[in-house]
Amino acid sequence: MTALLSQLGLGRQSLFGSLMLAALVVLIGLIVMAVAEKAQIRVANVFFVNLILVFGLQITMGNSNVANLGHITFTGVAAYVVGILVLPLAIKATGIPNAPFGLAEVLIHFVPAAMIAVVFSTALAFITGLVLTRQTGIAYTIATLALLVIVHTVLTNWVDLTRGPIAMYGIPIRANTVSLMLIAGACAIVARLFRDSRWGLQLRASGEDVLGAEASGVSVRTLRLVAWTLSGFVLSIGGVMYAYMVGTINPKSFYFDAVFLTLAMLILGGMRSVSGAVVGAVIVTLGTELMRWLEGAPVIFGGKMPQIFGLTGFFLGVVIVLFMALRPDGLVGDEELDEMARRLWRERRTKGAKEQAQESET
């Protein structure tokens, strides 16, 4: 086991750090379950799905340092695949009676259905990645955006399969706070171990200086493809969990709103660390809930606030712009929380040693 880990370039610190992160995620879930009311539980469930998506986004964007605007594509594909596979036949008969490939008669248990959806969507990530990772810089970012638009167009227009722009409802609810928090915790471990592995390290090096990395023997393209595929895997899991949590999906759920929400979370927390993803997801969730409350014209200090629409979108835009401009490394910066703790401790120790040496001199 330790031999395998060192092959991957992983040390004890990475293991410990990833377990701590997973524990933090689970702890958030436990606190919510202990104190929250029903409406708040729903917010927490959405939070966990978003957290999974932010972990997925961090794997590509955080390590390779190239903006990615198309990640939600794989969430949408996985959600639709799982939805179509588990939708009760009676609902299919009215909703998508003309589904191609005989899918109108197919009904699968929810666990294998989830696996099929994740494998399918991850395979799609790999195939699109083969093309995408030929691009670099801004061309790559635009290509990811094009992917998002293309898949959205397919989901909206392939009415026989997806019901088009109309929501596909009736997917059995299979996810709850416990399963969501456990899976989010597992995804935290995946993201952190990838970041710390030798491939993650090499990819981060290429994010600092592409030519410097290539001249050090790093295969930038291959690593971007690996990260893109792994990211697609995590985002697909997020899609499946989303479908199982809400039971109703439509193409709009997997479009710009979701892209910018998760992007704001990652940028605010700090995309270079997985800890940043967690911090960003927590703060943006709290922030958007506050905005939503304000949008609903609440009564504050006896006075009724005016109703303001679009406050949430405005808030996300402001977060992205402000952080990009003023603090591009986000709140957490480029270290994981446990790395930061270790560094501070080390610095304190060396400072202490120096002072002692000075004292003994005098």
Binding site residues, another protein, CB under 8 A: 9, 198, 201-202, 204-205, 208-209, 211-220, 272, 334, 343, 346
SS3 assignment, position 195: helix
Q: How far is the CB of 196 from another protein (least distance, A)?
A: 10
Q: How far is the CB of 1 from another protein (least distance, A)?
A: 20
Neighbours of 87 (CB within 10 A): 24
SS3 assignment, position 168: strand
What are the distances in angstroms from CA 26 to CA 13, 114, 301, 315?
A: 20, 22, 36, 27
- The count of residues in the chain is 362
Q: How far is the CB of 343 from another protein (least distance, A)?
A: 7
Neighbours of 310 (CB within 10 A): 10
Q: How far is the CB of 329 from another protein (least distance, A)?
A: 9
Tokens at 35, concatenated? 């104190």
Give Cα 95 to chain centroid, integer Å.
30
Q: How far is the CB of 195 from another protein (least distance, A)?
A: 12
Q: Which residue number, 76 or 269, has a Cβ lying nearer to another protein? A: 269
Identify which of 69, 95, 240 has the alpha carbon closest to the alpha carbon of residue 164: 95
Q: How far is the CB of 213 from another protein (least distance, A)?
A: 7
Tokens at 243, concatenated? 């479908």
Identify which of 177, 172, 152 has the alpha carbon closest to the alpha carbon of residue 162: 152
Give Cα 15 to chain centroid, integer Å.
20
Q: Which residue number, 121 or 273, has a Cβ lying nearer to another protein? A: 273
Q: Which residue number, 2 or 222, has a Cβ lying nearer to another protein? A: 222
Q: Which residue number, 217 or 306, has a Cβ lying nearer to another protein? A: 217
Q: Which residues pair with 303 in a beta bridge?
A: 300
Q: Which residue number, 68 or 202, has a Cβ lying nearer to another protein? A: 202
Q: Which residue number, 119 or 331, has a Cβ lying nearer to another protein? A: 331
CA dihedral over 120, 126, 131, 135, signed as positive or negative: positive
Q: Which residue number, 308 or 353, has a Cβ lying nearer to another protein? A: 353
Neighbours of 322 (CB within 10 A): 12
Q: How far is the CB of 360 from another protein (least distance, A)?
A: 20
